[in-house]
Amino acid sequence: MPLAAIERAGRARRRRRTAGLVIGCGLLLAPLAALTVRAVLPDHAPAEQNRVAAHPTPPDNPAVDTVRVVAPGERVEAGAGVELWLTADGKHWSTPEMDQQFRSVGESDIEIPRPRVGLQAEILGDRYFLSGVYTGTDDAGRVVVDTSDGKVTASVVRLAGEPGWGVWYTDVRLHDALAVNSVALYDQHGKEIATMTPAQP
């Protein structure tokens, strides 16, 4: 056989051997790759679920948390040095300047067919203490006071059960240009159910 033909036959055998080794290695690696994919995917799925669970959808009305149910006579620190408490008769509070004040809530106030909200304002040092009684509902969710410095969400306290009324309060920094534009009462679904506008001088 000529030398050229022998060299061609040798090269062909080497190519077939190399191809066979590559195919064989590929077949050996394929199950390993499949095992790797199956091992990794379950670890990633719970991580994604945990990420979603760590960021729940925020509540529609987080301000409902401003309502606090108190026992009769339970004292509440209301800011600006004010102490506030409720009894079945109405709202009681004391300030650094005055030991005790009282705003009665009678049956005639509670039986009014529509909700109402009131406002009382006191200057206490460099703070402006704002508070009031709301009547005609046990569904109060929050009170928002619109001032010349912006809107403030007040705290709300009421007695347990169905008293038909409650009290709101907040305090803001006092300055000459400060004014209260309105006070709005919202129910627990975020709907405005009462509003009042202070008389302007």
Q: Tens of pLDDT along 77-100?
A: 999 999 999 999 999 999 999 999
Contact 128, 178 (CB under 8 A): yes
pTM above threshold 0.85: no
Of 15-29, 35-49, 103-117, the one with minimum mean pLDDT is 35-49
**In this model, does residue 129 exceed pLDDT 70?**
yes
- pLDDT at 9 exceeding the cut of 70: no
Of 173, 132, 137, the residue nearest 154 (C-alpha): 132
- What's the rounded Cα separation, in Å, for the pair 15 and 53? 57
Give CA angle at 62 (61, 66), nearest 5°. 115
Q: Is the pLDDT of residue 186 over 70?
A: yes
- Span 171-198, mean pLDDT? 96
Residues counted in the chain: 201
